[in-house]
């Protein structure tokens, strides 16, 4: 095998193990967890978990941080998260035991960055509102098409759609949200739209995780422009 093929095969082998898969999925919300919690998620002993974690670290799928006497494991980078999310769509329903959702995990489920576009419950709700108002229409090959009304609305918001450069994968993609199982707005338009919301002071990025914080001005603006209400999205 060529080196790239060997790397793919190695990563696939690591993810294919049921216990390792459950531990990796437990980290998809962007948190960092100790070995004990990952063992609990996979339903295995601490000793068995230690061996699996060593293999995942060696394979480059995990990173580890030490805080005093404790070690916290997280996904190595966004590419690992994206790969796991894509695999989860092929085989939904496989999830490990989870302890009650932490405050930080709830924030990430509410609103987070997905390759620099808006995801989570908020991303799905915003996208649904854009479709319901005929600003976006579902197109072929997992694309969104921007309608005439949509181009005008984005323009009023401060984003000129004609100035956004499409990639080979299109201008506005239907990106399936891994927690909500519905589409949010991805692609270059999704990236520029989230940047606009940040520039307007409606959203703020977390410095520690992929979570996005909605400001009071943001909730007011989202309610006014798209009918997206904070109370309806509580996690």
pLDDT in tens, 73-107: 989 888 888 788 777 766 555 555 555 667 777 88
The rounded percent of the chain whose pLDDT value lies above 70 is 87
Which two structure tokens, joined as six digits, stand for 206?
Answer: 């977390």
**Tokens 């299109």, residue located:** 170
Note the helical H segments in the chain.
Answer: 3-16, 18-26, 35-42, 46-58, 78-90, 103-110, 120-132, 148-157, 187-199, 216-226
* Residue 33, CA atoms < 13 Å, CB-side half-sphere: 28
DSSP calls for 49-96: HHHHHHHHHHTTSEEEEEETTEEEEEESSHHHHHHHHHHHHHSTT---
**Tokens 């993810």, residue located:** 15
The mean pLDDT value for 14-26 works out to 89
Is the pLDDT at 68 greater than 90? The verdict is no
Which two structure tokens, joined as six digits, stand for 52?
Answer: 């699996």
Q: Which CATH class is domain 3-99?
A: mainly alpha
Using one digit for the tens of pLDDT, what is the confidence trace for 106-152? 888 899 998 899 999 999 999 999 999 999 999 998 899 999 999 99
Query: C-alpha 7: how far from its chain's center?
Result: 24
- Residue 113 to residues 37, 48, 69, Cα–Cα distance (Å): 25, 33, 31
pTM of the model: 0.62
pLDDT score for 212: 95
| Residue 121 contacts residue 223 (beta carbons within 8 Å) | no
In 3D space, the residue among 166, 168, 129, 170 whose CA is nearest the CA of residue 150 turns out to be 129
Domains of the chain: which residue ranges?
3-99, 107-230
Report the distance separating Cα 181 and Cα 210, nearest Å. 18
């Amino acid at each position: 095998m060529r080196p790239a093929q060997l790397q793919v095969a190695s990563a696939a082998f690591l993810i294919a193990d049921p216990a390792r898969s459950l531990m990796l999925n437990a980290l998809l919300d962007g948190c960092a967890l100790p070995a004990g919690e990952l063992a609990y998620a996979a339903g295995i002993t601490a000793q068995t978990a230690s061996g699996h974690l060593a293999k995942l670290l060696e394979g480059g799928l995990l990173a580890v941080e030490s805080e005093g006497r404790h070690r916290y494991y997280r996904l190595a980078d966004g590419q690992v998260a994206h790969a796991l999310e894509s695999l989860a769509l092929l085989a939904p329903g496989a999830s490990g035991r989870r302890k009650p959702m932490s405050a930080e995990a709830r924030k990430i489920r509410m609103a987070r960055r997905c390759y620099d576009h808006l995801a989570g419950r908020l991303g799905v709700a915003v996208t649904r509102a854009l479709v319901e108002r005929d600003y976006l229409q579902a197109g072929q090959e997992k694309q969104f098409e921007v309608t005439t009304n949509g181009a005008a609305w984005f323009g009023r918001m401060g984003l000129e759609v004609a100035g956004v450069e499409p990639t080979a994968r299109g201008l506005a993609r239907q990106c399936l949200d891994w927690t909500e199982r519905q589409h949010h707005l991805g692609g270059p338009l999704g990236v520029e739209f989230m940047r606009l919301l940040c520039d307007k002071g409606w959203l703020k990025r977390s410095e520690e995780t992929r979570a996005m914080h909605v400001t009071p001005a943001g909730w007011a603006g989202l309610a006014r422009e798209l009918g997206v209400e904070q109370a309806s999205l509580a996690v």
